[in-house]
């Protein structure tokens, strides 16, 4: 069973709100991006590894669902899970919640591809990273909150990891 891990905590600041009075979409993307880097580091994909091995991760697809508005002063958290692993790519989901109400405010699914930074070509994920990611899917690492049933059922949704990682 896929498990979620806490990857971000923060606040909605007034300057993050648009003329409609709620947090602008660019800030959702930013908070999800910060959660992604925390999550990748948990897998062993750290800045020092990228620098030492000349590799990196790139997002090739992202789908966001906005569920509830957030306003200045709201406290939020993001929990993340790996839902699919291939030789060269990961599909992860992030759920953002309003910590005061517990409501799901936004959800994103991101496909990240491991690349050779110089050649700009996809390459295989390190074996230890793949193993950790697979253990997260099976629930052997980081038991927290269960993933949505549609993702547990193995639905790849609109994302084709093999196509995304081709290169």
Spatial CB neighbours of 107, under 8 Å, sequence gap ≥ 6: 64, 65, 67, 93, 94, 95, 96
Handedness of CA 125, 56, 9, 109 (dihedral sign): negative
The residue written with tokens 């990857």 in the block is: 7
**Distance in angstroms (rounded) separating the CA atoms of residues 62 and 74:** 24
CATH class of 3-148: alpha beta
**What are the structure tokens assigned to 99, written together?**
């910590």
Query: What are the pLDDT tens digits along the chain (167 aa)?
Result: 567 999 999 999 999 999 999 999 999 999 999 999 999 999 999 999 999 999 999 999 999 999 999 999 999 999 999 999 999 999 999 999 999 999 999 999 999 999 999 999 999 999 999 999 999 998 776 443 333 333 333 434 444 455 555 55
**Distance in angstroms (rounded) separating the CA atoms of residues 111 and 82:** 10
Beta bridge pairs of residue 59: 112
Q: Quick one: pLDDT at residue 152?
A: 37
Q: Quick one: pLDDT at residue 143?
A: 44
The residue written with tokens 């200045």 in the block is: 72
Q: Quick one: pLDDT at residue 138?
A: 84
pTM above 0.75, yes or no: yes
Q: Quick one: pLDDT at residue 139?
A: 77
Q: Quick one: pLDDT at residue 3?
A: 78
Q: Quick one: pLDDT at residue 162?
A: 52
């Amino acid at each position: 069973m896929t498990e979620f891990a806490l990857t971000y905590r923060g606040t909605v600041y007034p300057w993050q709100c648009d003329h409609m009075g709620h947090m602008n979409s660019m800030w959702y993307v930013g908070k999800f991006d910060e959660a992604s880097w925390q999550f990748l580091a948990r897998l062993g994909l750290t800045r020092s590894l990228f620098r030492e091995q000349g590799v990196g991760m790139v997002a090739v697809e992202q789908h966001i669902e906005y569920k509830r508005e957030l306003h200045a002063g709201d406290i939020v958290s993001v929990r993340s899970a790996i839902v699919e692993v291939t030789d060269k790519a990961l599909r992860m989901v992030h759920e953002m919640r309003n910590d005061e109400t517990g409501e799901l405010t936004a959800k994103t699914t991101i496909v990240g591809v491991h690349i050779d930074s110089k050649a700009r070509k996809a390459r295989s994920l390190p074996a230890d990273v793949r193993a950790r990611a697979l253990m997260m899917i099976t629930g052997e690492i980081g038991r927290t909150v269960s993933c949505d049933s549609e993702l547990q059922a193995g639905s790849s949704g609109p994302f084709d990891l093999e196509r995304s990682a081709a290169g």
